[in-house]
Structure 1
């Protein structure tokens, strides 16, 4: 087996000292090592295929350069994966890696996972939820540098990174109002979901400002419910000219119902979704509100790294804006 390349080999190849190699590859060379020698070290390391010994580095600086992540169902679920992807990329930019443990929705395993991660000497802890939820961090979690992602602490003591669901609900209505719609129906998600309550608050605020009556039906989250409820309301005498949907899957069901009834979108009916589901919204040309999962993951890691640097986080919610995606499913009403 070939001998492992060492920092001494790199130093010899670059014609510098071993300490110079350490400074350059650990990002501490500015002002201490000339630009030419920094370049020589990087080129020598690349030629030799040298990789720093992270275990030795951890022993020296008393950090593991790992962040422990506990999730509910992000790993096994259909949504939220970009949160962990964004977090992972941002962590790697600062030379950290994520150690992820998924509970598959079993809340009774949180304590077990916290103990396992702390036993592996992670530098900080992150709790990530697939859907926005309240989560009360247990005491061992709170004692470490930590952050919540797509979750919030009901007590407000811990910092949680969430998207602006209320503003998302507001902007969804604004898309229809700005197109001239006054006969608007909302097909909402189920009321036990935190995102539903916040989106409803934004919707009611927008309708109130415009003086437009609020009409809403609890629909749920799936295509078949969008098709069933959509067929009923679109075939009624007081058919709305614009429909706001709980998510893009419900919107897909409404589009199917409209097609079966001979209604054209957007000429006869405007439809707005939510989530910007990459497997639904772009293909259907659906105007929708996005959930900035990637940016939320990035922001959570940024804050956690600040906490590791002894910055005291403020607690409460850090809100990431929801993007508005205008495609082809909204137009002025025909009546």
Structure 2
């Protein structure tokens, strides 16, 4: 096993200098060219730090706690965890993840993570909502993921809900749709409010008047299908923006029952890029991809910046992602502009042999 002493001998500097560099405490203390030489030598020699020894020396375990409700057990949203894990690993941290199912269970899981000596927490929710931060987390470095606290006290990252709806509605307008409906969510979520605002603004900017008869806010199953069916009968939309890909299924079903063709008679845009839905529906669903991986990655970077306020992350090489991540010092909440994934459900996009 390579030691700091061996690295010092190879680079011609003291062991203390090597320690400063490898423990990310060299800024302002070690010349940049010397620090770079030490890091290169450490990498060439295969140096690996001893986490236990370092934690005893610094009082830091370099462990991040990730607390989720549903995220860990939800397909595709698990990308949040993958993004956080990738960033944590590159920064020299380990990620411990727990999934909770209620207030009492949540307290137990937080206590467990604290016993492991985590240096800070990420607290994640589904469907972007306001949260009350548990008291047990308030004295730790904390970043919220796909959630915002009501006071804006803690850094957080979320999809740009307004731009999701604006871009999706604009796509339908550009396709020539004149009666664009919104199949939204009847729950009081940040996502619903932002997407409703973006839908209305896109219509207004294009010279269309907002028409509440073109809106159906639903939950799921039979009542949702009946509400969308009523929307078709009363408003006869030629374009539909859906709160998520799951709600787009109701639009496909109602169109089929009326002999209408998706991608020709009715254009549809969803949100999620949920592969089971977006790629299984025929024609395939044009949709806005949520930045799960990006949110997790950004949250881990932000959390480490809180734990190590002197550590320079400005030059950290971000991975190639579908959406561009905001800067670490972005205003709260940090918003990610999501990407619209073109498929076949918007007028002019679907090949004739894919139409239903």
| Common fold by TM > 0.5 | yes
Largest Rg, 1 or 2? 1
Displacement of 1:90 in angstroms is 0.7
Change (3 A) 1:299 1:6: closer
The yes-or-no answer on 1:153 pairing with 2:149 is yes
> Hey, what does 2:313 align to over in structure 1?
none
How many angstroms apart in 2 are the aligned matches of 1:192 and 1:324?
Answer: 24
| Contact 1:272–1:330, Cα closer than 8 Å, also in 2 | yes
The yes-or-no answer on 1:124 pairing with 2:120 is yes
Q: How does 1:252-331 map to 2 (within 5 A)?
A: 252-284=249-281, 285-310=284-309, 316-331=332-347
Question: What number of residue pairs does the alignment pair up?
Answer: 320
| Contact 1:80–1:293, Cα closer than 8 Å, also in 2 | yes
> Hey, what does 2:78 align to over in structure 1?
81
> Hey, what does 1:167 align to over in structure 2?
163
Q: Deviations over 1:169-226 (max 9, x none)?
A: 122211111222121221112233332222112112222332234211123256x666
Give secondary structure in 2 for the equivalent of 1:304: helix
Give secondary structure in 2 for the equivalent of 1:151: strand
TM (norm. structure 2) is: 0.77
Q: How does 1:49-88 map to 2 (within 5 A)?
A: 51-88=48-85
| Contact 2:216–2:231, Cα closer than 8 Å, also in 1 | no
Q: How does 1:32-51 map to 2 (within 5 A)?
A: 32=34, 42-45=43-46, 51=48
TM (norm. structure 1) is: 0.82
> Hey, what does 1:102 align to over in structure 2?
99
How many angstroms apart in 2 are the aligned matches of 1:298 and 1:41?
Answer: 26
The CA RMSD over aligned residues, in Å, is: 3.3
Q: Deviations over 1:290-332 (max 9, x none)?
A: 2111111111111111111237978741111121222221126
Unmatched tracts of structure 1, length 5 or more = none
Q: Deviations over 1:141-164 (max 9, x none)?
A: 121111111110101111221111
Unmatched tracts of structure 2, length 5 or more = 311-327, 349-356
Displacement of 1:78 in angstroms is 3.3
